[in-house]
Amino acid sequence: MNREITVGEATNALVFLNMNWNVIDANDIFKLCEDIVTLEKIKTVKICKTKAGERTNEIGACKDLKEYQSKTLQILKSSFVALVVFDSVQPAIKIYNELDSTELENSGMFFDIRFVDENIKTGEVTQTVTSCEGFVEKDYNKFKIEETPAENKRGKLLEKLFTSKNTNEKLLNELISISDNEEENEDIIEKKKLLFEEVEKEKDEVKIEIDKPVKEVTTQEKKSASSHVFDPLDSRFSMLYTDSDFTIDPTHPEYQKNNKLKDIMKEKRRRFEEKEM
């Protein structure tokens, strides 16, 4: 998992790497940052083409459609980066510490964030955003590293993009702009609330109920409490890894960063990467 960054190591600019750029764009990243720091602290978010993005026709031979789809997605992920510039170092540190290595909802995308100089030389800028004006809410769970992208519009656009001899900017921009809008219903919100309450209970396994007589805590009880180790594999948390309704969102107002949630996110990422192998 990520480590806390100190001021001396940080800059006022971040790059977001290895995202599924046919799903997420500059508007989404601006909104994610704006949910964590105030609007005026974010100067710009730019989607920039990388050197790999200049070689989109180098996919090579594929033995089947699944391998072709996998390669096209990997190329797309490495073809762009998002450069986010803030008005100072502190908001960049906050964004890094809150998001790096966490999953974007239940999308299968994990934030890979680095500090860079705001004047870093980048490739062609394909999108620039300075406000939340163009943001459209998305249900990222729908886009979880698609097994059959040819069945939808994104899959067809990807196939056109990576079989064309020349880079098609119109297709690239269309891929980046695709979005779905679906409001989160009250039932899912309630499930998430219950989940956070359950995690909070884990913080104090030996809490004494106030409506019961207070008794002296024995040496054995103290030893038991101090030796308790949080286990992310506990069956009570199994739904976190299988049910999208229980996705942990680090930008949610009720999210409280602690080591237990870090362990859960680390285990979820391990399972995801193991599945991808």
Q: What is the pLDDT of residue 208?
A: 41
Range from 35-39, 142-146, 183-187, 270-274 that averages highest in pLDDT: 35-39
Instruction: Name the average pLDDT for the chain.
Output: 71
Tokens 């599945």 — which residue?
275
Same domain, yes or no: 156 and 223: no
Domain end among 121, 152, 177: 177
Domain end among 135, 158, 177: 177
- pLDDT > 90? residue 75: no
Residue pLDDT, tens place only, 116-165: 999 988 889 999 999 999 999 988 876 664 444 444 555 555 555 555 55
Of 48 and 65, the one with more pLDDT: 48
Same domain, yes or no: 150 and 244: no
Q: What is the pLDDT of residue 122?
A: 86
Of 68 and 96, the one with more pLDDT: 96
Domain end among 158, 177, 196: 177
Q: Give the bridge partners for 14, in sequence order.
A: 84, 115
Of 95 and 4, the one with more pLDDT: 95
Q: Give the number of domains in the chain.
A: 2
Nearest one of 93, 109, 91, 92 to 28, comparing CA atoms: 109
What are the contacts of 161-168 at 24+ separation with CB within 8 A?
Answer: 161/56, 161/72, 161/76, 162/56, 162/57, 162/59, 162/72, 162/75, 164/57, 165/57, 166/57, 167/53, 167/54, 167/56, 167/57
Same domain, yes or no: 23 and 85: yes
Same domain, yes or no: 132 and 246: no
Residue pLDDT, tens place only, 12-39: 999 999 898 989 999 999 999 999 999 9
Same domain, yes or no: 21 and 102: yes
In a domain, 2, yes or no: no
Q: What is the pLDDT of residue 213?
A: 47
Same domain, yes or no: 137 and 12: yes
Query: Rounded to two decimals, what is the model's pTM?
Result: 0.52
In a domain, 117, yes or no: yes
Q: What's the CATH code of the domain at 18?
A: 3.30.70.330
Same domain, yes or no: 172 and 196: no
Same domain, yes or no: 37 and 124: yes
Same domain, yes or no: 167 and 207: no
The parent domain of residue 15 ranges over 7-177
